[in-house]
Structure 1
Amino acid sequence: MTRIKDIALEAGVSAATVSRVLNNDVTLAVSDETRARIFSIAEQLQYKPSRLRRMKKEERLSRQQIGLLMWSSLQDEQDDPYFSSIRKGIETRCEELGISIIKVLRGNNRTEMQPIHELDGLIVVGSIDDNDVSQLYKHSNRLIFVNHSNELNDFDTVKVHFEQATRAVISHLRKLGHKKIGYIGGNEHVHRLSRQHADIPVVEPRRAFFEKALSEAGLYHEEFVWQADWSSNGGYESMNRLLQLDSRPTACFIGSDPMAVGALRALHEHGVRVPEDMAVVGFDDIEISAFLNPPLTTVRAHTEHMGRTAVQLLLERMEGREAAVHITINTTLIVRESCGSTLQK
């Protein structure tokens, strides 16, 4: 049986150094050449091969340096935790694997970015133009897009199953007896990194699947659909417009919980009772949702899991996977008091 001191003798270093290298001690000051020589000798001497393979993988990952490109600003993340939760999942999984995130870039700053081709991988969070990103980082096989609005066939992607989420909400509201259902959502764009190019408007997926599902059921009312910016104020203004209609919806699906907070404020100011006069369903399941009055029925998007999944896809790419993979994460409908019970007939 090969022992630590056998490897040390062959490598010309101390047994303590061999032990620390094989256990991936990042605090050890040793050259890459020495580290590689120790692993090579350990493998030649058949030192616990399965454990050695694991150690080599851990050591290789500890040298990987990746970047994170996000469209949202820090203020955006404070206002709506959706993207900060994705980022948390990425950071947590990288820490578990020993991968270093050495660059965090914010696309919405619109500042001129220098190429970062030297990185071992890049994870992009938000709808940023893939051509712009490819100019920034040329290694398409180590480029992961999270929550992008478009279908990107040439890249690994992670996104929410918006159709499943939207149909679950509509099904739930219809079971409660609602036939007049409205939708409030935000304006969606594919963002350009350069100030010289305007953002590209795209169809917001929750709205698209909402219109599709209700049209199939013969229940779609165009006047019940409003879009504004993704904020509490956007939700407040949109609900005020809905409430000006002579014929109002009896239920409303709102594309984000922060927008739902603003919509609930507008309903309260107009004396519209929730859920008696209008049922409300949000999207995201942010922490405050359970503490609103009434507690908000909402869709949990599992955003932290999306971030962890993006890191796993990048890891597979680092290990040699060639084909692009597209992951769609299912959601969970969290039923609380804001959607109410069966309507009186």
Structure 2
Amino acid sequence: MATIKDIANMTNVSPTTVSRVLNNDQTISVLEETRQRILQSAKELGYKTILERQAEKHLDAAKKTPHVGILLCQTLEEEMSDPYFLSIRQGVEEELLKQGITSSSMFRLHETGSNQLIHDFDGLIVIGRISETALKKVSDHIQNVVYINHSPDDTLYDSVVIDFVKSTELAVKHLLNVGYKRIGYIGGEEKEHVNSGKVRIEDERLTTFEKLMKREGLYNPSWTFIGEYQMAHGYELMKKALKLGEFPEAFFIASDPMAIGALKALQEAELSVPNDVAIVSFDDIEIAQFTSTPLTTIKVHTKEMGQTGVKLLMDRLNGRTLPLKVILPSELVIRQSCGAVR
């Protein structure tokens, strides 16, 4: 590798002058002929300044950095109304930065035209439910795909999910162990994005609730209320439940935002939680511990789901071919709303 001393010997100029010229020192007084002779000699010898070497290093690093796409299956309104998916996305973005990936693009499924293809991604992270055929409508060639909160085909794709069956069992069995028998359900509709829009699919929270209650001989179909996973729907569904002649003494509510809406309906009806109606909900979003009656809820590690998805994608890009399905654990967080701490 050529040095400043080599250039100085070649041009009969002092090493100090060579260094100042090559580093574009504007304070040095030197003949233009001498300056050009130094620059030409440096070029012939293949000499590069520290700044040039650093620039090349950054350029090489940029070339090696994968370009990652983030496909959100929720509209902005849906994401804002249910922090579950927002937290997953934040986990993805934080881990991408931690991995040194600054080349990423985020887009929402409903914003992509039916014939618009997504190109130039080394890998794709899908947050939410989308059928494989619908995915191919927007991406016809991306091999490295990681699904978060959905696993369409664990023989082909990496995925990060939670066990909704075990999580629901934790919630319902807790209410049963506290002593409640008249237990209702408030939840939303699970939907999957397909070519024609959205279709309703089985929600394992609902089916598991029904299975457990039937096994106990306590299931009452009139105590099941289904809407959308939104706070306003939790409010309206609880108001509907309270109009029954005999309403449940406890509810499993399938999301914290819906539970917060339900709390407001109970407050307006001048009913006390948990003295009149107990609640166990699902998600453990940040506000769950600060509601008028802090919510007992199933904690889902949503941010970790996003972070794990990025790690799986990086592992894929580094050569792994075997698809992996990661199931993150959930846990019951007991607060005041279930009545267990009375």
**TM-score, length of structure 1 as denominator length:** 0.79
Q: Work out which of the residue numbers 152, 164, 167 in structure 2 matches 1:165.
A: 167
Q: Work out which of the residue numbers 148, 153, 156 in structure 2 matches 1:154.
A: 156
* Aligned twin of 1:129: 131
* Aligned twin of 1:174: 176
The 3-state SS of whatever aligns with 1:283 is strand
* Aligned residue identity for 1:261: I
2:310 & 2:145 partners in 1: Cα distance? Answer: 10
* Aligned twin of 2:101: 99
* Aligned residue identity for 1:341: A
1:213 & 1:139 partners in 2: Cα distance? Answer: 43
Q: Which deviates more from structure 2 when the two are superposed, residues 73-82 or residues 176-185?
A: 73-82
Give the gaps of 5 or more residues in structure 1: 6-10, 21-27, 36-58
Which structure has the larger Rg over C-alpha atoms?
A: 2
CA displacement 1:123-149 (0-9 Å, x = unmatched): 011112221112322346401111127
How does 1:48-67 map onto structure 2 within 5 Å?
59=61, 63-67=65-69
Q: What is the count of residue pairs matched by the alignment?
A: 301
Once the two structures are TM-superposed, the CA of residue 219 in structure 1 deviates from its matched residue by 2.4
* Aligned residue identity for 2:269: H
Cα–Cα, structure 1 residues 198 and 96, in superposed 2: closer, same or farther, change >3 Å? closer
* Aligned twin of 1:54: none
* Aligned twin of 2:254: 255
Cα–Cα, structure 1 residues 16 and 185, in superposed 2: closer, same or farther, change >3 Å? same
The 3-state SS of whatever aligns with 1:339 is coil
The question of whether the paired residues in 2 share the 8 Å contact of 1:177 and 1:342 is answered with: no
Q: Where does structure 1 differ by over 6 angstroms across 4 or more consecutive aligned residues? A: none
Cα–Cα, structure 1 residues 302 and 248, in superposed 2: closer, same or farther, change >3 Å? same
The question of whether the paired residues in 1 share the 8 Å contact of 2:231 and 2:260 is answered with: yes
The question of whether the paired residues in 1 share the 8 Å contact of 2:154 and 2:323 is answered with: no
The question of whether the paired residues in 2 share the 8 Å contact of 1:89 and 1:305 is answered with: yes
The 3-state SS of whatever aligns with 2:248 is coil
Once the two structures are TM-superposed, the CA of residue 253 in structure 1 deviates from its matched residue by 0.8
The question of whether the paired residues in 1 share the 8 Å contact of 2:191 and 2:198 is answered with: yes
**Residue 225 (structure 2) pairs with residue 226 (structure 1):** yes
* Aligned residue identity for 2:50: A
* Aligned twin of 2:117: 115
Cα–Cα, structure 1 residues 334 and 30, in superposed 2: closer, same or farther, change >3 Å? closer
* Aligned residue identity for 2:209: F
* Aligned twin of 2:333: 334
The question of whether the paired residues in 1 share the 8 Å contact of 2:160 and 2:325 is answered with: yes
Cα–Cα, structure 1 residues 277 and 31, in superposed 2: closer, same or farther, change >3 Å? closer
* Aligned residue identity for 1:248: F
Once the two structures are TM-superposed, the CA of residue 78 in structure 1 deviates from its matched residue by 2.4
* Aligned twin of 2:276: 277
CA displacement 1:22-52 (0-9 Å, x = unmatched): xxxxxx25696xx5xxxxxxxxxxxxxxxxx
The question of whether the paired residues in 1 share the 8 Å contact of 2:72 and 2:107 is answered with: yes
Q: CA RMSD in A?
A: 2.7
Q: Which deviates more from structure 2 when the two are superposed, residues 105-114 or residues 323-332?
A: 105-114
Once the two structures are TM-superposed, the CA of residue 212 in structure 1 deviates from its matched residue by 2.1
Q: Which deviates more from structure 2 when the two are superposed, residues 276-285 or residues 214-223?
A: 214-223
* Aligned residue identity for 1:286: I
